[in-house]
Structure 1
Amino acid sequence: MRTLPKRLKKGDTVGIIAPSSPPNLENLQKALPFLEGLGLKVKLGKSLKEKRGYLAGDDDARLADLHAMFEDPEVAGIICAGGGYGAARYADRIDYSMIKENPKVFWGYSDITFLHTAIGQYAELVTFHGPMLASDVGKEEFHERSARMFGQMFGPFELHYSEEISLLTSITGGIAEGELVGGNLSLLRSSIGTRFEIDVKGKILLIEDIDEEPFRVDEMLNQLRMARKFDEVAGIVIGDFKNPEPKKPEKSLTLDQVFDDYFSDLKVPVVKGFKIGHCEPHFSVPLGAKARLDGDGKTLTILPGVE
């Protein structure tokens, strides 16, 4: 049973960090009033404005920001400015014992998936897969429903996803209950064979991704299959796969064909069409919280992610 972080309240301070790539600073500035509108104060990480190629400063700087925000007693929660690449580079140096002693709301997605998996498995903390400041909140297309999803940081309420939100398709039926884990498929694949390999035994696996052609999704799902992940899983939630169009459609399977190849014979519920991922609106979810996937009724219910 993972630890639930304490709920945020108005007047709290949240730390803003860039665990991976340099965020768009203009979009970040546009996003800060949104947090202020929620009644939150902000504390900016030191590496936010740093650049080392495709990284927001060197690994030591980004790791130091992560540690500092979890250790700081004045910081009640941590929200990532953006993703990109780089969080996995220092995952083996994170002080998980310290994080376990200082459980806080931790919010992000995409490349942050590697941190969600690592923190969930080694600090046993529920974390949040949701929109980030520079990548999402600071853009004009940021959706009202995406904004409302931040409310789950402030109170323990149950989430319920049905076809009232988006069209859902059941690949296989049945009902599964278990912890919701996962996130970005390419990051989950990159965990295979490491000490941070995603644990899906008896759990409901969420997958989503962006800019991946069907053959690439196929390759990643095949690695998870050969790592026996689909033998152990209780159910699968297929989120948004943005921009999956193949460069040569006449020589490609469709993404739906790929999903059918891997999931149609599974004996567990698999449902696709969830607006979870690089999309608007973006339905935020607590990873590590208990969930119920109904493949027949096409619903996903998730227990609160804060206490």
Structure 2
Amino acid sequence: MHRRQFLGGALGASLLPWMAGSSPAFAAVRGRLRPPPLQPGDTVGLVSPSSATDDSFSLQLAREAMEALGFKVRTGEHYGARWGHLAGTDAQRAGDLNAMFADRQVRAIVCVRGGSGAARLLPLLDYDAIRRDPKVLLGYSDITALHCAIQARTGLVTFHGPIGSGSWNRFNVDQFRRLFLERQLMEYRNAADPGDELVQRSNRTITLRGGKARGELVGGNLSVLVALAGSSYLPAFDGRILFLEDVAEAPYRIDRMFSTLKLMGALDRIAGFVFGQCTDCDPGDGYGSLTLEQILDDYIRPLRIPAYRGAMIGHIREQFILPVGGMVELDADAGTLRMLEPVFTG
């Protein structure tokens, strides 16, 4: 699940036109497009848009999980392929995605895993086909590239949550059934379990600045999102609720990426902010490091918007399934996100 996006000099060059005001910073908002709801017995497509799966047993587990949830399964032609570290060539992986969106019998698309490589597909996707037959898309981590591009180009609400080969534990299954099958207006609140502690220590949310804010959700994996800077595949940030998470990134890289978000104007446009988990993001050896807390203090607190950290979002076993592009209310004092509108048609 570990992936790392390195930003080079090209990123800095791509930001110059924005800062000079000669081109729009973010893709134009097209308005929300909602997928139809899921029903037991629907067909779910399994695709691998990013890294290859190193064990075919993971592919079997992904199929069995979807079947156990009550769905028929259709697999992408190349979902078990390999091209270097990727699950097939760009054309193969994009072709599988386009085929699933074009297939009228497929009602949801679940990404088998993340890793890296999804951004390579963005110019190859058939956005007209996605608009013609909108459907559920589920995944996280590197799948952030797909969430961002599809939101920017079509306005379709997609879903940031467990991958097919990941853990379908009780918490994740409950989230899935309540959201997709019962179509509840979800409230996302961290599970309370102090264990043998007098007060709960782990899985806590921490308020950065109190208050409430409403807006459409945008975000996902910090590294993947920032790597889209300067492209037409990054959605608008104006009035949005930004959520972020990451894995295996040293604090100095987290700081650099927040600096990019600040310089490109994204942070000054948002209405609220949620940071999930930064797994394996501890400082390395050397002269010391900024902490994640200090980084958020530097970039988020001065915005004077409702914000909190510690949400169950990210590379963790139990995670929220969030509607990217859905309208939500953030309560930074309570540490919650609450859906305000249905995210499915009908």
Normalising by the smaller structure, the TM-score range is over 0.9
Partner in structure 2 of residue 145 of structure 1: 171
What is the 5 A alignment of 1:1-307? 1-23=31-53, 24-134=55-165, 136-137=166-167, 142-151=168-177, 152-165=179-192, 166-248=203-285, 251-303=288-340, 304-307=342-345
Q: Tell me, in whole angstroms, the C-alpha distance in 2 between the residues paired with 1:212 and 1:262.
A: 17
Query: How much has 1:217 moved relative to structure 2?
Result: 0.5
TM-score relative to the length of structure 2: 0.84
Q: Tell me, in whole angstroms, the C-alpha distance in 2 between the residues paired with 1:9 and 1:163.
A: 27
Q: Tell me, in whole angstroms, the C-alpha distance in 2 between the residues paired with 1:211 and 1:302.
A: 30
**One-letter amino acid matched to 2:223:** S
TM-score relative to the length of structure 1: 0.94
Checking the alignment, whether the CA contact within 8 Å between 2:205 and 2:335 is kept in structure 1 is yes
SS of 1:200's equivalent? Answer: coil
Q: Tell me, in whole angstroms, the C-alpha distance in 2 between the residues paired with 1:164 and 1:30.
A: 26
Checking the alignment, whether the CA contact within 8 Å between 2:90 and 2:121 is kept in structure 1 is yes
Distance 1:131 1:164, change over 3 A: closer
Provide the aligned C-alpha RMSD in A. Answer: 1.4
Q: Tell me, in whole angstroms, the C-alpha distance in 1 between the residues paired with 2:110 and 2:309.
A: 27
Once the two structures are superposed, residues 217-275 of structure 1 have per-residue CA deviations (whole angstroms, 9 ceiling, x without a partner) of 10000000000111100111111111111222751121111111111211211110101
SS of 1:133's equivalent? Answer: coil
Checking the alignment, whether the CA contact within 8 Å between 1:205 and 1:235 is kept in structure 2 is yes
Checking the alignment, whether the CA contact within 8 Å between 1:181 and 1:288 is kept in structure 2 is yes
Q: Tell me, in whole angstroms, the C-alpha distance in 2 between the residues paired with 1:297 and 1:276.
A: 16
Q: How many residues align?
A: 302
Checking the alignment, whether the CA contact within 8 Å between 1:87 and 1:114 is kept in structure 2 is yes
**One-letter amino acid matched to 2:47:** I
Once the two structures are superposed, residues 13-50 of structure 1 have per-residue CA deviations (whole angstroms, 9 ceiling, x without a partner) of 10000001112421221232221121101001111121
Checking the alignment, whether the CA contact within 8 Å between 2:311 and 2:335 is kept in structure 1 is no
Larger Rg: 2
**One-letter amino acid matched to 1:56:** A
Q: Tell me, in whole angstroms, the C-alpha distance in 2 between the residues paired with 1:76 and 1:298.
A: 33
SS of 1:252's equivalent? Answer: coil
Checking the alignment, whether the CA contact within 8 Å between 2:148 and 2:233 is kept in structure 1 is yes
In terms of mean alpha carbon deviation, does 194-203 or 123-132 score higher? 194-203
Q: Tell me, in whole angstroms, the C-alpha distance in 1 between the residues paired with 2:181 and 2:326.
A: 16
**One-letter amino acid matched to 1:143:** N
Q: Tell me, in whole angstroms, the C-alpha distance in 1 between the residues paired with 2:175 and 2:150.
A: 22
Checking the alignment, whether the CA contact within 8 Å between 1:172 and 1:266 is kept in structure 2 is no
Question: Structure 2, unaligned stretches of length 5 or more?
Answer: 1-30, 193-202
Checking the alignment, whether the CA contact within 8 Å between 2:245 and 2:314 is kept in structure 1 is yes
Query: How much has 1:163 moved relative to structure 2?
Result: 4.9
Checking the alignment, whether the CA contact within 8 Å between 1:87 and 1:115 is kept in structure 2 is yes
Partner in structure 1 of residue 12 of structure 2: none
Q: Tell me, in whole angstroms, the C-alpha distance in 2 between the residues paired with 1:131 and 1:305.
A: 18
